[in-house]
């Protein structure tokens, strides 16, 4: 092949010589590598870089590629989601007058919610990248924001020990604040849609008061309290198999049965605070 062969040409050539696998999506694109360097423009561009680097490393070694040089070109499939690197900022969202402390995208991709030190939560339209609503009710820093799985409700928790529920479409407050925590709210997790019961919309919250509370957000009642930690609870997550996970400054991670309200497992081993958690099922629809 000529050395001016581009990445697009290589993809076309590969389609002609290989048989796609059974589980491979149609029009799969590939990345190509020569000497561990990705071919983004053409083969010649990589050869020029290789020759230049070898000339710098050894002045007396004049290695050149002639017309009959055999070079291995490796290929691998690109990400199916066509993920591209961030190369520029598309916009700047301005409005908060205090430090922004938490951000979260709605599951449907329409909204962005932000909580800040100015005691407000703001909702932003991601299609137009413009402000939608300014939600004012908290009396202190808004520390955590979380959308419900259907994106219709967003919850905000703050240093004022309260949790507010907001309609993501109108920005209006839903009902009264959820009261119960005796210290500031550190995180919020909604029950996954896959395990929701009809007519119920449950949510978990954690706090510096060393407890995890389960709320029925439709009736706005606290229905369970998990109080096994002996340090501030730093993060709470609600898994898809009926377990709630909480991390704490007491150096443990606890797993709770959401329905029975019982401790299922305690994970020990950290020598200092456990500051955050992640589940392998996060963001799975």
Using the Cα atoms of residue 258, residue 259, residue 260 and residue 261 in order, give the sign of their dihedral.
positive
Bridge partners for 190 per DSSP: 203
Specify the pLDDT at position 65. Answer: 56
Q: What is the DSSP letter of 72?
A: -
Predicted pLDDT of residue 23? 58
The pLDDT value given to residue 57: 47
Whether domain 100-268 has CATH 2.130.10.10: the reply is yes
Q: Name the nearest CA neighbour of 163 among 174, 178, 146.
A: 178
Which pLDDT value is given to residue 84? 66
User: Exposed, middle or buried, 6 (CB in 10 Å: 0-12/13-18/19+)?
Assistant: middle
Residue 134: alpha-carbon gap to chain centroid:
23
Element (H, E) at 215: strand 212-216
What pLDDT, in 10s, does the model give residues 41-56?
888 888 888 777 655 4
| Side-chain-side CA neighbours of residue 167 (13 Å) | 8
Mean of pLDDT over the chain = 87
For residue 26, the model assigns a pLDDT of 64
Instruction: Give residue-wise pLDDT tens across range 204-260.
Output: 999 999 999 999 999 999 999 999 999 999 999 999 888 999 999 999 999 999 988
The confidence score (pLDDT) of residue 43 equals 84
Tokens 């995890």 map to which residue?
212
Q: Write out the residue limits of the CATH 2.130.10.10 domain(s) in the chain.
A: 100-268
Q: Rounded to 5 degrees, what are φ and ψ at 249?
A: -75, -5
- 106 secondary structure, DSSP code: -
pTM here is: 0.71
Among 1-15, 45-59, 83-97, 270-284, the least confident range: 45-59
Q: Which of 285, 226, 283, 224 is nearest to 105 (CA)?
A: 283
CA within 13 Å, CB half, 50: 16
| pLDDT value of position 78 | 77
**CB atoms inside a 10 Å sphere around CB 7:** 16
What integer pLDDT is reported at residue 58 of this predicted model? 46
Q: What is the per-residue pLDDT across 118-164, written as a single tens digit (0 to 9) for each?
A: 999 999 999 999 999 999 999 999 999 999 999 999 999 999 999 99
């Amino acid at each position: 092949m000529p050395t001016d062969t581009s990445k697009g040409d290589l993809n076309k050539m590969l389609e002609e010589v290989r048989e796609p696998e059974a589980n491979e999506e149609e029009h799969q694109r590939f990345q190509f590598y020569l000497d561990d360097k990705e071919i983004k423009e053409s083969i010649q561009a990589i050869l020029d870089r290789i020759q230049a680097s070898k000339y710098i490393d050894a002045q007396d070694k004049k290695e050149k590629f002639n017309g009959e040089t055999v070079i291995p070109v490796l290929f691998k499939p690109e990400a199916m989601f066509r993920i591209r690197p961030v190369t520029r900022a598309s916009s700047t969202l301005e409005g908060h007058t205090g430090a922004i402390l938490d951000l979260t995208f709605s599951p449907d991709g329409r909204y962005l919610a932000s909580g800040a030190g100015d005691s407000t939560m703001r909702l932003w339209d991601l299609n137009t990248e413009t402000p939608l609503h300014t939600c004012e009710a908290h009396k202190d820093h808004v520390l955590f924001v979380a959308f419900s799985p259907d994106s219709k409700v967003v919850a905000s928790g703050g240093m004022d020990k309260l949790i507010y529920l907001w309609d993501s479409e109108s920005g209006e407050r839903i009902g009264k604040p959820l009261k119960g925590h005796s210290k500031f709210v550190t995180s919020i997790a909604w029950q996954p849609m896959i395990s929701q019961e009809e007519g119920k919309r449950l949510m978990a919250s954690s706090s510096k008061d060393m407890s995890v509370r389960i709320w029925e957000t439709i009736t706005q009642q606290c229905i369970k309290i998990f109080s096994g930690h002996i340090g501030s609870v730093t993060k709470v997550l609600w898994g898809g198999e009926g377990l709630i996970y909480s991390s704490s400054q007491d150096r443990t991670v606890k797993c709770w049965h959401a329905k029975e309200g019982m401790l299922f497992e305690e994970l020990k081993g950290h020598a200092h605070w456990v500051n955050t958690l992640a589940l392998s099922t996060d963001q799975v629809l």
